[in-house]
């Protein structure tokens, strides 16, 4: 037995066969996304309310602007709910990754693509392979100048809600005043 003519192209076709059968045809990742804001005097940001979402099937090759759009659209509903319907737009945020690394430096690169690879070793040779559905962390951090407006907006909304609740209570109680005296 041993090697014969059928094995001569083995070295050349091995890589092609590995790519066609061993790896997925699409490169997706799972993004754990949240919205955070900076607190004066603190080193790390604080999470805004319960604005957290796990976004599945996000293409790993998305450029920085496209990834920011994807994350913003995935968080928008919860963001509006937890900020009393503040009029947000994508320019209110900076996109950061693990360790608060700024991800929008190079608009032509896919900032999270490198996080989706794992290094394997076989016969002493290191080989990088894409790992589908890798969990990555992306945070939208509210810019400082925007956060001041958001705080004021939330405060005003709470005062309005408190005022309307009090007026409803007084409307309900006012016919009872003569009985209470």
3-state secondary structure (DSSP) of residue 176: helix
List pLDDT tens digits, range 107-117.
899 999 999 98
Q: How far is CA 82 from CA 26, 86, 92, 98, 158, in A?
A: 34, 9, 16, 24, 12
Which has more confidence, 170 or 35?
A: 35
Predicted TM-score (pTM) above 0.75: no
Cβ atoms 36, 66 nearer than 8 A: no
Tell me if the domain spanning 5-145 has CATH number 3.10.20.90: yes
Task: Tell me the pLDDT tens digit for each residue of 131-170.
Answer: 888 999 999 999 999 999 988 888 888 777 666 655 565 5
Across the chain, what does the average pLDDT equal?
A: 81
Give domain limits for the chain. 5-145
- Selected residue with higher pLDDT from 41 and 51: 51
- Rounded to 5 degrees, φ, ψ at 129 are -130, 145
Q: Is the pLDDT of residue 174 over 70?
A: no
pLDDT band at 23 (very low <50, low <70, confident <90, very high): very low
- DSSP per-residue letters across 57-107: EEETT--HHHHHHHHHHHHHHHHHHHTTT----GGGEEEE-GGG-B--S-T
pLDDT of residue 132: 87
- Tokens representing 179 are 């009985």
Q: pLDDT value at position 63?
A: 93
């Amino acid at each position: 037995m041993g090697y014969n003519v059928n094995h001569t192209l083995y070295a050349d076709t091995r890589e092609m066969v590995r790519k066609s059968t061993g790896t997925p045809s699409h490169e997706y990742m799972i993004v754990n996304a949240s919205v955070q804001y900076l607190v004066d005097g603190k080193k790390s940001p604080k999470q805004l309310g319960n604005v957290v979402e796990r976004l599945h099937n996000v293409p790993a090759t998305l450029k920085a602007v496209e990834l920011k759009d994807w994350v913003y659209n995935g968080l928008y509903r919860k963001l509006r709910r937890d900020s009393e319907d503040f009029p947000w737009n994508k320019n209110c945020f900076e996109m950061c990754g693990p360790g608060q690394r700024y991800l929008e430096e190079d608009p032509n690169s896919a900032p999270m693509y490198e996080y989706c690879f794992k290094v394997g070793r076989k016969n002493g040779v290191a080989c990088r392979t894409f790992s589908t559905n890798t969990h990555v962390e992306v945070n939208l951090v509210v810019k400082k100048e925007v956060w001041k407006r958001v705080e004021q907006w939330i405060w005003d909304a709470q005062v309005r809600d408190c005022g309307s609740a009090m007026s409803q209570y007084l409307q309900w109680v006012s016919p009872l005043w003569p009985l209470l005296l």
